[in-house]
């Protein structure tokens, strides 16, 4: 038997959504003090194909928020330990974390281009 995807009826989804606890009840630990709460997530997570200049500007803005974050150390340790592959965490971009860990997350390795055939 193949995998089956169950779709919840709208009224059931709404009932489940009503059960989602308030953020304050989630007890997220250090994340509750994150300076980036309420910030535009697009600052921390860029689109897949982003120009270098745009990425540097965006990451710079995100890092400015991180610079005044009281839980920067916890966030950075989490990002490096997990590891988080995408986005700015603990003041470190994806490239910063790759340098820090000495490992490539595989996204920056250029894929071989197909050789045109005639
Ligand atoms: S260090 Fe940056 S990404 Fe991490 S919680 Fe603080 S503001 Fe958010």
Print pLDDT tens along the chain (118 aa): 445 655 555 555 566 556 666 655 666 789 989 999 999 999 999 998 899 999 999 999 999 999 999 999 999 999 999 889 999 999 999 999 999 888 877 655 455 566 777 6
Instruction: Specify the length of the chain in residues.
Output: 118
> Mind listing the pLDDT tens digit for each residue in 63-96?
999 999 999 999 999 999 988 999 999 999 999 9
- The rounded Cα 37 to chain-centroid distance in angstroms is 13
Q: What is the DSSP letter of 68?
A: T
Q: Considering the domain boundaries, does residue 113 fall inside one?
A: no
Distance between Cα 64 and ligand 1 center (Å): 10
* Number of domains within the chain: 1
Q: Considering the domain boundaries, does residue 40 fall inside one?
A: yes
Q: What is the pLDDT of residue 91?
A: 98
Which atom of ligand 1 approaches the CA of 69 most closely?
Answer: 6
**Cα Rg, the chain, nearest whole Å:** 19
For residue 70, give every residue at least 6 positions away whose Cβ sits within 8 Å of its Cβ, in sequence order, or none. 33, 35
Q: Considering the domain boundaries, does residue 9 fall inside one?
A: no
Q: Which domain holds residue 57?
A: 28-101
Please give the Cα distance from 40 to 108 (Å, whole number): 25
What's the pTM?
0.70
Q: Considering the domain boundaries, does residue 13 fall inside one?
A: no
66 is in an annotated binding site: yes
Distance between Cα 65 and ligand 1 center (Å): 7
Which atom of ligand 1 approaches the CA of 33 most closely?
Answer: 5
Q: Considering the domain boundaries, does residue 22 fall inside one?
A: no
Please give the Cα distance from 58 to 88 (Å, whole number): 10
Please give the Cα distance from 40 to 47 (Å, whole number): 13
């Amino acid at each position: 038997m193949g995998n089956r995807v169950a779709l919840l009826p709208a009224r059931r989804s709404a009932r489940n959504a009503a059960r989602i606890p308030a953020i304050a009840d989630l007890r997220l630990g250090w994340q509750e003090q994150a300076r980036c709460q309420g910030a535009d997530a697009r600052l921390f997570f860029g689109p897949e194909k982003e120009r270098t200049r745009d990425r540097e500007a965006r990451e710079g803005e995100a890092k400015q928020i991180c610079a005044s974050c009281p839980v920067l150390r916890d966030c950075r340790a989490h990002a490096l330990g997990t590891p988080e592959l995408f986005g700015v965490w603990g003041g470190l971009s994806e490239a910063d974390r790759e340098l820090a860990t000495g490992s490539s997350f595989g996204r920056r390795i250029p894929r071989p281009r197909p050789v045109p055939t005639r």
